[in-house]
């Protein structure tokens, strides 16, 4: 029995890897959040859908597992990469008692990579990815991770920088970063990566604090070497002589 967990990349069909497209072709049943299924609509013709809302992940994964147990070839879809704040881990947990299900995780282009490419090359060297959602992680843990990343002078990709319920998380995180990093640290924001309305903004850490963000945005915080070159955000690799 086969179950694919597929990262579809940040946007529509053209952001998918060929492997993801091929895996999806083999499936007759697809589970995912409605918005993501809509993004790849042309590839889903004739396939059964298991569609649930944003916060119904466990329900969705359980339904996908049950469809696989009934003999269907199922794809569970995540945006970006399924292993980065996606469905892959949960799928393994939900299928723990069913060794007969062979889970294949198909990697996708995560927002840090896709958004990094839009900005230029902000994550050239060591970096951290940190989600500011405290739905599944205590806020104190998030604050600690942010502080440690800043102390390590890591570039940071901030996922889930805000939601309708949490509007001040980015501000609180910037205050922690500003304890450690200079206010002129180069930062970038990318909204709707790979989708209609894609837009990027360059800013500084001091200004980022008061920049409104939403859940369709990924925020990039540079390290002490990050610069703006030709209007793009670049963390130099460190080659001499350039
Ligand atoms: N599995 C996804 C991440 C899901 S968490 C991945 O690997 O990319 C959801 C967060 O990811 C969003 O709040 C946003 O910060 C980021 N994100 C995902 N897709 C995005 C896109 N197309 N444009 C901008 N940010 C995106």
| Per-residue pLDDT tens listing for the chain (242 residues) | 999 999 999 998 999 999 999 999 999 999 999 888 999 999 999 999 987 766 688 999 999 999 999 999 999 999 999 999 999 999 999 999 999 999 999 999 999 999 999 999 999 999 999 999 999 999 999 999 999 999 999 999 999 999 888 889 999 999 999 999 999 999 999 999 999 999 999 999 999 999 999 999 999 999 999 999 999 999 999 898 77
234 CA to centre of ligand 1 in angstroms: 21
pTM here?
0.96
Q: Closest Cα to atom 4, ligand 1: which residue?
A: 85
Residues near ligand 1 (Cβ within 6 A): 10-11, 78-81, 84-86, 110-111, 115, 159-161, 190-195, 215-218
CB-based contacts of 18-25 (< 8 A; 24+ apart in sequence): 19/106, 19/107, 20/106, 20/108, 23/75, 23/104, 23/106, 24/75
101 CA to centre of ligand 1 in angstroms: 28
112 CA to centre of ligand 1 in angstroms: 8
Comparing CA positions, the residue from 12, 122, 8 lying closest to residue 75 is: 8
Q: Closest Cα to atom 13, ligand 1: which residue?
A: 160
Tokens of 175: 């205050």
94 CA to centre of ligand 1 in angstroms: 23
């Amino acid at each position: 029995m086969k179950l694919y967990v597929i990262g579809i990349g940040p946007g529509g069909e053209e952001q998918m890897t060929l492997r993801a497209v091929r895996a999806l072709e083999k499936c007759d049943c697809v589970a995912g959040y409605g918005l993501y299924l809509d993004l790849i609509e042309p590839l889903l013709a004739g396939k059964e859908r298991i569609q649930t809302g944003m916060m119904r992940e466990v329900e969705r994964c359980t339904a996908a597992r049950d469809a696989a147990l009934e003999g269907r070839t199922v794809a569970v879809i995540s945006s970006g990469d399924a292993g980065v704040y996606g469905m892959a881990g949960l799928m393994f947990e939900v299928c723990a008692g069913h060794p007969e299900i062979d889970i294949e995780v198909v990697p996708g282009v995560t927002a840090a990579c896709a958004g990094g490419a839009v900005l230029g090359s902000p994550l050239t060297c060591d970096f951290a990815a940190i989600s500011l959602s405290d739905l599944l992680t205590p806020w104190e843990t998030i604050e600690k991770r942010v502080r440690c990343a800043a102390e390590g002078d890591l570039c940071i990709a901030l996922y889930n920088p805000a939601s309708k319920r949490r509007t001040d998380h980015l501000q609180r995180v910037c205050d922690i970063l500003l304890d450690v990093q200079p206010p002129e640290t180069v930062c970038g924001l990318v909204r709707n990566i790979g989708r209609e309305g894609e837009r990027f903004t360059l800013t500084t850490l001091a200004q980022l604090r008061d920049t409104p963000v939403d859940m369709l945005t990924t925020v990039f915080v540079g390290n002490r070497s990050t610069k703006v070159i030709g209007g793009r955000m670049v963390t130099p690799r460190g080659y001499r002589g350039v």
